[in-house]
Amino acid sequence: DRGGSSNVRPAMTDAAKASNLYLPKLATQLREGYGLADLRADAVAGLTVAIVALPLSMAIAIASGVGPERGLYTAIVGGFLVSMLGGSRFQIGGPAGAFIVLVAGTVHLHGIEGLILATFLSGLMLAAGGVLRLGNLIRLIPAPVTVGFTAGIAVIILASQVRDLLGLTLAGGEPAQFGPKVAALAQALPSANPPAVAVAAVVIALILAVRRWRPAWPALLIAVSLASAAAVLFALPVETIGSKFGGIPRTLPMPHLPDLAWTKVLAVLPAAAAFTLLGAIESLLSAVVADGMTGRRHRSNMELVAQGIANSGAALFGGMPVTGTIARTATNVRAGAHGPVSGMLHALYLLAFMLIAAPLAAYIPLAALAGLLAVVAWNMVEKAEIAHLLRENRGGAAVMAVTLALTLAHDLIAGIAAGCVLAMGIASLRRRR
């Protein structure tokens, strides 16, 4: 635009801005310059995140009703693609605790193949949402709705871990619905296994203690490793990954397309839509958190496209839904990451664990992973926000309560829909007044 007319520059500027909407942050960083010092920083940060993600990915998969290897497939394939293509410099993708409820319900209704198909379709929906520039619309969901469904998911996660936390033996299968599940667990309380309770309690105490006194140390891996060593050393009668799943594979499976028969697509479409909505919300919330920690600004539509590609890519390898994860993303920032390469390296570190040390996972007690997820569930609850709503915003508190109640009683989509409708109604009444 040198020497051109003045009305050319805005058009070129707008075109440049439009092209940047779909430019991965990795390309931006490489264009700015990426040196050896950046690589060293990203290698250390990626290793730190991988140490956190290793036990967490397996725990989330088990709690979701699938094998631990599927959590690792998701973190490896999905995590690599999210970082390589994403619109946030520091986003870490992988399986998330918020999806446990939806994934478990999908597996219960449609089996593993149905879950993989729903994940694949969700990826297409997310990518389409990014192309259609719907990224900014996700931010319009009222904050009380987000607080309510997050608290509801946390409660359901905790309920799903009670059986392994206490080592219970249920007479039949564990019900999927929250109310019947709580009733069945209450009836099974006399069958509690003291060694399993002790393992879970020690893991929770170790995680809290390490985070308090040595916050730079990998609390999750330390707690799970020590609990596994104790279970082996003292021959504790507790269920382990090996006794329930037979360990985890040492390689990634060959990629393959899920069965795209029209009847199966229609059957899993509601689950795919739920994965899409929650994945978009979680990913963009995580990107906003990273922005607040670093002063950067993410590209929301590019992030949705990347999340879509990552979900479809993970499904090709038998994985489960992928999303941006707030805790791992924050860990990545605090560990000194310089850009997306740290997330890509975190995925490669996890792959190296599968190739070299997968047999060690067989010794991990399920009670230890249940204790880890109990801490995750507690941390998911936005306690300060709930207190603020109860104290200063009665309308927001009502929206939060309705969202929470319907998430527990019915499902996530019903909770979000009801919360949004109620929030709009309250806002309308306030405007009239």
Model confidence pLDDT, tens digit, residues 80-121: 999 999 999 999 999 998 898 889 989 999 999 999 999 999
Which residues contact residue 190 at a Cβ distance below 8 angstroms, ignoring those fewer than 6 apart? none
Q: What pLDDT does 135 receive?
A: 83
Model confidence pLDDT, tens digit, residues 159-179: 888 989 999 988 777 777 788
Model confidence pLDDT, tens digit, residues 307-326: 999 999 999 999 999 999 88
Domain membership of residue 28 (yes or no) is: no
Domain membership of residue 410 (yes or no) is: no
* Mean pLDDT computed over every residue of the chain: 88
Residue 1 pLDDT exceeds 60: no
Domain that holds residue 158: 34-383
What average pLDDT does the segment 360-373 reach?
90
Residue 10 pLDDT exceeds 60: no
Which percentage of the chain shows pLDDT scores above 70?
95
Give the Cα-Cα-Cα angle 42, 372, 399 (nearest 5 degrees): 95
Q: What pLDDT does 128 receive?
A: 95
Residue of 357, 71, 364, 161 lying closest to 244 (CA atoms): 364
Q: What pLDDT does 35 receive?
A: 93
Q: What pLDDT does 136 receive?
A: 78
376 falls in which pLDDT band (50, 70, 90)? confident
Residue 130 pLDDT exceeds 70: yes
Residue 334 pLDDT exceeds 90: no
Q: What pLDDT does 83 receive?
A: 96
Q: What pLDDT does 388 receive?
A: 92
Residue 247 pLDDT exceeds 50: yes
Model confidence pLDDT, tens digit, residues 264-313: 999 999 999 999 998 998 898 889 888 888 888 899 999 999 999 999 99
Pairing state of beta strands 323-324 and 93-94?
antiparallel
What average pLDDT does the segment 202-229 reach?
91
Domain membership of residue 356 (yes or no) is: yes
Residue located via tokens 């996972």: 361
Q: What pLDDT does 68 receive?
A: 93
Q: What pLDDT does 19 receive?
A: 57
Q: What pLDDT does 12 receive?
A: 44
Residue 213 pLDDT exceeds 50: yes
Number of domains into which the chain is organized: 1
pTM: 0.84
9 falls in which pLDDT band (50, 70, 90)? very low
Q: What pLDDT does 216 receive?
A: 80
Per residue, the 3-state secondary structure of the chain, as one string, reads: CCCCCCCHHHHHHHHHHHHHHCCCHHHHHHHHCCCHHHHHHHHHHHHHHHHHHHHHHHHHHHHCCCCHHHHHHHHHHHHHHHHHHCCCCCCCEECCHHHHHHHHHHHHHHHHHHHHHHHHHHHHHHHHHHHCCCHHHHHHCCHHHHHHHHHHHHHHHHHHHHHHHHCCCCCCCCCCCHHHHHHHHHHCHHHCCHHHHHHHHHHHHHHHHHHHHCCCCCHHHHHHHHHHHHHHHCCCCCCEHHHHHCCCCCCCCCCCCCCCCHHHHHHHHHHHHHHHHHHHHHHHHHHHHHHHHHCCCCCHHHHHHHHHHHHHHHHHCCCCCCEECHHHHHHHHHCCCCCCHHHHHHHHHHHHHHHHHHHHHHHCEHHHHHHHHHHHHHHHCCHHHHHHHHHHCHHHHHHHHHHHHHHHHCCHHHHHHHHHHHHHHHHHHHHHC
Is residue 303 within 8 Å of residue 287, measured between CB atoms?
A: yes
Domain membership of residue 412 (yes or no) is: no
Model confidence pLDDT, tens digit, residues 394-409: 899 999 999 999 988 8
Q: Which of 5-19, 171-185, 334-348 has the highest mean pLDDT?
A: 334-348
Residue located via tokens 């999340």: 307
Q: What pLDDT does 18 receive?
A: 55
Q: How far is CA 348 from the centre of its chain?
A: 19
The residues pairing with 365 across neighbouring beta strands, listed in sequence order, are: 240
Domain membership of residue 188 (yes or no) is: yes
Q: What pLDDT does 17 receive?
A: 57
Cα–Cα distance measured from residue 355 to residue 248, given in angstroms and rounded to the nearest whole number: 10
Residue 353 pLDDT exceeds 60: yes
